[in-house]
Structure 1
Amino acid sequence: MKLHNYFRSSASFRVRIALELKGLSYEYVPVHLVKGEHKQGEFAAKSANGLVPMLELDGGERLAQSMAIIEYLDETHPEPALLPKDALGRAHVRSLAQSIACEIHPLNNLRVLKYLVREMKVDEEAKNTWYRHWVRDGLLAFERELSQLPQGTYCYGDTPTLADCCLVPQIFNGKRFNVDFSGMDRTMAAFDACMKHPAFQKAQPSNCPDNEP
């Protein structure tokens, strides 16, 4: 398999975590978003949406969208499972994961931040204030959702799930922008537990071949 991705992309980070949790080997193919490589050359020709990550399977099939990729990996390589076996548990985990992937991330991805600066003429500090507001607002909602679920080591239970694959990259990005994480005890406890796990350590941006300061 080939994973076309960017070290700082939250969505790419999610998939790298899932691959590491599953113990699956893959070829790392960097696509530099800031330099616009996702709009150029071979990647642009292969990718329908021009976004990372894109997983290229051994048979040549291509999969886009991190959540779809991770669920594909979970269905084709079921152990260790990233979704609970019971329907209610799966719904809870998907709800947690989607609260980040669908509610927080779309407001703060690179395309949106660039548009705010280039087209809306928002200055750097205002852009960062926008980012911090929506990340904190979304994570507080995530914390409230966690508080309604039984306490476990990770977001849901005592093994990592799809929710943790989404949470960790969002916290990484939030730290880059100095987001206030106060009042998020359950959320940060799950993050800290994840960062003690070898799969999350191996998948983090600093271990990627295209990592930059």
Structure 2
Amino acid sequence: MTASLTLYSYWRSTTSYRVRAALNLKGVPFETVPVDLLTGAQRDAGYSKMNPGKGVPTLVLEDGSVLTQSLAILDYIEARWPEPALLPADPLARARVQAAAYTMAVDVHPVNNLRVVTHLRDAYGADTDGAMDWMRHWMVEGFTAFEALVRDDTPFAFGHAPDLADLCLVAQVYNARRWGVDLTPFPKVRRIEAACLDVPAIAAAHPDQQPDAS
């Protein structure tokens, strides 16, 4: 099947990672267009007109419609391609999956993304060690909460197949390993990461497998 969707992403972006994984799991073909965040490509006039938030990912649909913000994109993907489901149909179970997912996507990611850490350095004089301590602190806080929210009797966060919580977690664990977070206190996090990376569709979404990986 020819790709009809275009995903603007950056290889190390956790938000792009989770969207790539969702599209792969659902068997939706897409073309990747790299946006180099380190060189400021997200601030170029053409790109920022498409995505006023000047971030990634951006998903361009077949008719040219543009979607931004990873959670909104994931919601669209789930509605349009409902199988395999990333959210349970039962309202209570759905809310629990979303709570765990948002712990990563809403509590941890926003305070640790590139623009925030850059502002910490530029505006408040944080050195490299200080910036890394900041990121590690919020990841540990998030993983501690995540451990308490998910099940301990299933390979994935809430069952035997990956869901939204798993995709948000595995992307954040990539960052945690990159920045040297000690994951020993988080056995559920480590178990879920291993289960996710055993799924070919998720493994193919890993940053190291992207065309712009360096």
TM value normalised by structure 1: 0.96
Deviations along 1:39-78, whole A, 9 cap, x unmatched? 0032112112111101000111111111111111111011
Asked if 1:73 corresponds to 2:80, the answer is: no
Asked if 1:50 corresponds to 2:50, the answer is: no
Select which of 127, 132, 138 maps to 2:136.
132
Q: CA deviation at 1:143?
A: 0.6
Matched with 1:116 is 120
User: In the comparison of the two structures, how many residue pairs are matched?
Assistant: 210
Distance 2:84 2:153 in 1: 20
Consecutive unaligned residues in structure 1, runs of 5 or more:
none
**Residue correspondence of structure 1 range 69-108 to structure 2 within 5 A:** 69-108=73-112
Matched with 1:32 is 36
Select which of 11, 17, 31 maps to 1:13.
17
Distance 2:70 2:153 in 1: 26
Consecutive unaligned residues in structure 2, runs of 5 or more:
none
Matched with 1:206 is 208
Q: CA deviation at 1:153?
A: 1.5
Matched with 2:199 is 197
Matched with 1:156 is 158
Matched with 2:183 is 181
Q: CA deviation at 1:151?
A: 2.2
Deviations along 1:63-119, whole A, 9 cap, x unmatched? 111111111111101111111121111111100100111111111100111111122
Q: Percent identity?
A: 39
Matched with 1:22 is 26
Secondary structure of 1:153 counterpart = coil
1:50 alignment partner AA:
K
- Detail structure 1 runs of 4+ shifted over 6 Å in the superposition: none
